[in-house]
Amino acid sequence: MSEVIAIYPGSFDPLTNGHVDIIQRGSRLFHRIVVGVLINLEKAPLFTVPERVAIAREVFRGWDNVEVDTFDGLLVEYARSKHAGVIVRGLRAVSDFEYELQMALMNRRLSPDVETVFMMPAEPYTYVSSRLVKEVVALGGSVHGLVPGIVEDRLREKKLARETLRA
Ligand code: PNS
């Protein structure tokens, strides 16, 4: 059987333990999994793309079949360029489904030979999102256990830097 390569695309602003859980599952299922950090010029991100890439590379250092990369443009074109036949997306709750279904079917229309595979994270992460993590940290709450340690450190640094700027 030829190598099955999967792309796990996303914003990862920031990477959460839910993402890590999906990548771990994907790394067991596929020969190689490429974490594709979207270069999205429209959003106002908390972390720059290079910061997000550096964090993910640190978290997945030593995971032999996990690669961290960036992409822009159409996801299916990026998948083709990486010789990936699979797009992995995490599904946490029914609320994720509609948007994910639209994307999966649009991607299938654009490139019928790329298959989207949905994976469920472990239960403790079913409510975790990058958006909520950012909100909780901005308001002074703890996200310990919900994000990798390095993300917790970087979030703290960002918050301190912003508070210093405002002072
Ligand atoms: O983590 P996110 O923000 O939910 O990830 C969204 C992502 C990166 C998967 C999506 O925005 C995407 O695939 N962007 C690439 C542009 C594209 O291919 N659009 C058409 C297919 S729906």
- Look at residue 42 and tell me whether its pLDDT is greater than 80: no
Query: How high is the pLDDT of residue 1?
Result: 66
For the question of residue 134 being annotated catalytic, the response is no
* Model confidence pLDDT, tens digit, residues 133-155: 999 999 999 999 999 999 999 99
Give 64's DSSP letter.
Answer: T
Rounded mean pLDDT of 88-112?
96
Any idea how long the chain is? 167
Report how far residue 136's alpha carbon sits from residue 131's, in angstroms, rounded to the nearest whole number.
Answer: 9
Query: One-letter amino acid identity for 19?
Result: H
Rounded mean pLDDT of 82-109?
97
Instruction: Enumerate residues lining ligand 1, CB below 6 A.
Output: 9-11, 38, 74-75, 103, 106-107
Rounded mean pLDDT of 69-91?
98
Give 147's DSSP letter.
Answer: B
**Sheet of strand 66-71, all strands in order from the earlier edge strand to the far edge:** 66-71, 32-38, 5-10, 86-90, 115-119
For the question of residue 130 being annotated catalytic, the response is yes
The neighbour count for residue 12, using CB atoms within 10 Å, is: 23
pTM for the full predicted model: 0.96
For the question of residue 43 being annotated catalytic, the response is yes
Tell me the average pLDDT of the chain. 95
